[in-house]
Amino acid sequence: MASAISRRLVLAGMGCIASSLSASNIKSLRGKTLSETIWSGYASAPRWTSFELATDDTIIVRAQAGELDVDAVLDSGSAVSVLSSALASRLAINGTDARVRATSGRTVVKIARNVQLALDGQPRSLPMVIISDLSTVSAAFGRPIDLVLGLDMLADRVLALDFAESRLALAPSGSFTGGNGWAVLQLSLGTARELLVSAGVDGRPAAQMILDLGSGNALMMSSAFVDDDHLLENRKVSTVAIGDMEGMHVAKAAMMDSVVLAGLPVAAVPSAVVENWLSTSAVGNIGLPLIAQFDVVIDITASRLWLRKPERSRHNLLLKDRTGLGVATRPSGLTVVHVASGSPAERDGWKAGEQIVAIDGEPVGPGYTRSRLWRWRYRPAGAAVSLTLVDGSVRRIRLAEYY
């Protein structure tokens, strides 16, 4: 889990807004089909399109809005797609004001009607989209993110996600039937149009969770659910910063021993426990890092989710912060926004507001999230990292397991 104001949790706020209303280089691999790979279960073979797995927990695709090519985040946690205010202006789209529910309260956005978007060259006219400020998301990536593609872009389609190869495939709903090696789960929609799936945590009975491709936290759970099942007993607990459109909130952070989906377990899952939990249909949220432990096929219209454990050589690792520094990414550096309790950062006296401009002597620039430099917080326990502050001073932090 990134100990930072997660840009994906900003997107989670977008998803909440959308629900209350109803929702690198990218290249096309048009020469390859699913039948030419280890994948099977399709009536006819769709084509692959590569995506960028940014910081190992966010899917960024190349999409089209009107006549413009833009970077877009794929987010099943949002029932409705979201355009940035800047993109709406470029497209001369004028929305009407609407006051809607966000993660921590109510906020004002604009609503636009009959907007043309396309993914993998497949156009769709959406009856409604949200227009909102995506500058926080863009700043976190160090580049413009002008579009969030929600569930409305996946209706009547099958979405296959191959995380080992960073590629996706779109095909008509009903064209995937699963088969040997695939486990299947029922999907449903919650009262706020959340996409729901059943999952078990640490041997407890399976419960309804939101399936959220737009969240960078592997697992979030409501504090009521965690308390009722005594999930934090005898565990090391710390804190993590969660950001949304209304600001920053602090949640508890802990490691869950396992999460089970369709009988398939994932061990050692970094988790956040959220006090202000708004969903009345789900007790938790399964984010992209946990979803990416599998080969995935989603058919929302058919209410089916297929999962398969990939070969070990193709397996992604769940990342865990070992510094305790919650940081916000800026074009020329990182700003500390949270210091986790009991962490190496707290031990060393770090404070919110301090600014980091280089890591092990390498400057933090606009390409930070596209390089491997961002992985410094996930190095093994015992590793030391030198951090240069804006005043030129250098401080070393030794990583440790603090939760």
Q: What share of the chain is helix, strand, coil (3-state, %, to 5)?
A: 15, 45, 40
pLDDT for the residue numbered 133? 86
Among residues 264, 302, 300, 259, the alpha carbon closest in space to that of 283 is found at: 259
Domain boundary residue, one of 172, 192, 225: 172
Q: How confident is the model at residue 247 (pLDDT cuts 50, 70, 90)?
A: low
Q: Is 220 a member of any domain?
A: no
Strand partners, 220: 272, 285
Domain boundary residue, one of 172, 187, 218: 172
Q: Is 274 a member of any domain?
A: no
Q: Is 335 a member of any domain?
A: yes
pLDDT for the residue numbered 88? 96
**CATH, residue 53:** 2.40.70.10
**CATH, residue 360:** 2.30.42.10
Mean pLDDT to the nearest integer, 269-294:
95
pLDDT, tens digit, for every residue of 252-268? 999 999 999 999 999 99
pLDDT, tens digit, for every residue of 108-131? 789 999 999 999 989 999 999 999
Instruction: Mean pLDDT check: name the lowest of 6-20, 40-54, 57-71, 237-251.
Output: 6-20
Boundaries of domain holding 34? 7-172
Give the chain's domain count: 2
Model confidence, pTM? 0.88
pLDDT for the residue numbered 43? 78
Among residues 197, 207, 160, 220, the alpha carbon closest in space to that of 11 is found at: 220
Mean pLDDT to the nearest integer, 242-246:
64
Separation of alpha carbons 331 and 360, rounded Å: 18
Q: What is the 3-state secondary structure (H, E, C) of 349-378?
A: CCCCCCEEEEECCEECCCCHHHCCHHHHHH
Separation of alpha carbons 191 and 197, rounded Å: 14
Domain boundary residue, one of 123, 156, 172: 172
pLDDT, tens digit, for every residue of 24-55? 333 334 444 444 446 889 877 778 999 999 88
Do 103 and 248 touch, CB atoms closer than 8 A? no
Beta-carbon contacts of 228 under 8 Å, excluding residues fewer than 6 positions away, are none
DSSP for residue 216: -
Mean pLDDT to the nearest integer, 329-357:
95
- Given a cut of 60, whether residue 210 has pLDDT beyond it is yes
Do 28 and 120 touch, CB atoms closer than 8 A? yes
Instruction: Mean pLDDT check: name the lowest of 6-20, 24-38, 214-228, 271-285.
Output: 24-38
